[in-house]
């Protein structure tokens, strides 16, 4: 039976912890697009970390216990039994259990070109604590990755990378049962999108405000509304334009400017596309 590296670090936990660094050179791996880095199991973690920046991605699973997680100075999200979250390079994190508290944590660090594909496919949920029905089987998966990475066999390191992808598919893929633990975050996003009706919409600034990436914002809006992000914004603005046409004497040019469409003809084309009739036809149908 494989015996893993177990040692004490009382700064992290009063219990024995397992932290395994890669033992295989990258040149010996067959899967060059993704590489599992350090993996660990921290039972009874007591350490809270503030202002931490990582050079790699990490997938984190809190089996039991509680605490908080915040990305880039955003709102502290609650972490509890079965919570999942990610770290990504270059962002600043505050995370861990409260004073005199603890949690049981598994983590897998990973790097590689395939990460971009995972992001586009929606496998990486950025800046959000969430839960998944598949979480009940995650501990066994993390244990298997720990076992494979401990041995130093290149084939096992490749197996660990494939298992990581399967775990991400089970927990974070499209059509899963992700439930943000930070409350109804999509409700807050929807409400904030409505506030953009009379302003210029900048997806990057909007995503940064909600402490998520633009790709995550697009996925959340598409999943919630069924429409791509900018299509959804146009629909909100055209809905407001219809209200103004029906309930005010404002001219089409004025409404176009209020909704931040500098070209009234472009505005009219969009209105007909989404409403099925021209602005003037809408007003004449009153």
Residue 253 resides in a domain: yes
Residue 2 resides in a domain: no
Say what the pLDDT of residue 92 is.
95
206: domain CATH number is 1.10.10.60
Q: What is d(CA 153, CA 22) in angstroms, rounded to the nearest whole number?
A: 10
Same domain, 25 and 166: yes
Read off the pLDDT band of 60 (50, 70, 90): very high
Number of structural domains in the chain:
2
Instruction: Please say which residue of 135, 156, 180 terminates a domain.
Output: 180
Nearest C-alpha neighbor of 143 from the set 12, 15, 18: 18
Q: What is d(CA 222, CA 224) in angstroms, rounded to the nearest whole number?
A: 5
Same domain, 168 and 190: no
Same domain, 220 and 111: no
DSSP structural state of residue 4: P
Same domain, 59 and 160: yes
Same domain, 88 and 166: yes
pLDDT in tens, 224-255: 777 888 899 999 999 999 999 989 999 999 99
The pair of structure tokens assigned to 46 is: 């007591």
Read off the pLDDT band of 19 (50, 70, 90): very high
Q: What is d(CA 100, CA 46) in angstroms, rounded to the nearest whole number?
A: 7
Say what the pLDDT of residue 175 is.
36
Instruction: Please say which residue of 180, 209, 242 terminates a domain.
Output: 180
Cβ–Cβ < 8 Å for 162, 35: no
Same domain, 112 and 224: no
Say what the pLDDT of residue 93 is.
96
pTM, full prediction: 0.65
Over pLDDT 90: what percentage of the chain?
Answer: 56
The pair of structure tokens assigned to 57 is: 């991605």
Write the CB contacts of 6 (distance below 8 Å, at least 6 apart in sequence): 16, 17, 18
- Give me the residue label for tokens 């930070």: 182
The pair of structure tokens assigned to 102 is: 């603890």
Same domain, 81 and 199: no
Say what the pLDDT of residue 176 is.
41
User: How large is the average pLDDT for residues 92-102?
Assistant: 96
Residue 85 resides in a domain: yes
pLDDT in tens, 169-185: 888 643 344 445 444 56
Q: What is d(CA 176, CA 253) in angstroms, rounded to the nearest whole number?
A: 45
Same domain, 37 and 173: yes
CA distance between the termini of the chain: 79
Write the CB contacts of 25 (distance below 8 Å, at least 6 apart in sequence): none
Say what the pLDDT of residue 78 is.
94
Q: Bigger pLDDT: 118 or 144?
A: 144
SS3 for 149-183 is HHHCCHHHHHHHHHHHHHHHHHHHCCCCCCEECCC
Say what the pLDDT of residue 228 is.
86
Same domain, 137 and 204: no
Say what the pLDDT of residue 6 is.
81
Same domain, 32 and 124: yes
- Output the average pLDDT for the chain: 87
Same domain, 165 and 272: no
Instruction: Please say which residue of 180, 205, 224 terminates a domain.
Output: 180
pLDDT in tens, 22-41: 888 888 888 888 999 999 99
Q: State the residue range of the domain holding 245.
A: 185-284
């Amino acid at each position: 039976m494989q015996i893993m590296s177990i040692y004490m670090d009382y700064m992290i936990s009063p219990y024995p912890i397992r932290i395994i660094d890669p033992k295989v050179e990258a040149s010996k791996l067959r899967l060059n697009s993704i590489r599992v880095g350090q993996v660990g199991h921290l039972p009874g973690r007591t350490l809270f970390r503030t202002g931490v920046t990582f050079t790699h991605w990490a997938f984190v699973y809190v089996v039991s216990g509680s605490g908080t997680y915040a990305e880039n100075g955003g709102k502290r999200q609650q972490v509890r039994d079965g919570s999942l979250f990610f770290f990504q390079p270059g962002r600043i994190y505050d995370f861990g259990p409260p004073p005199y508290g603890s949690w049981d944590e598994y983590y897998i660090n990973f790097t590689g070109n395939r990460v971009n594909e995972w992001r586009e496919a929606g496998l990486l949920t950025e800046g959000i604590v969430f839960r998944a029905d598949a979480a009940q089987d995650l501990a066994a998966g993390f244990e298997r990755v720990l076992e494979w990475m401990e041995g130093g066999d290149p084939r096992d390191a490749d197996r660990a990378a494939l298992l990581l992808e399967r775990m991400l598919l089970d927990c974070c893929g499209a059509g899963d049962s992700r439930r943000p633990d930070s409350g109804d975050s999509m409700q807050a996003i929807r409400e904030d999108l409505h506030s953009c009706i009379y302003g210029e919409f900048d997806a990057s600034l909007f995503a940064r405000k909600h402490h998520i990436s633009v790709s995550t914002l697009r996925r959340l809006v598409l999943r919630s509304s069924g429409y791509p992000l900018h299509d959804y914004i146009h629909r909100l603005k055209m809905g407001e334009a219809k209200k103004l046409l029906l309930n005010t004497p404002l001219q089409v040019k004025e409404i176009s400017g209020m909704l931040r469409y500098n070209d009234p003809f472009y505005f009219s084309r969009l209105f007909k596309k989404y409403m099925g009739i021209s602005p003037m036809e809408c007003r004449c149908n009153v």
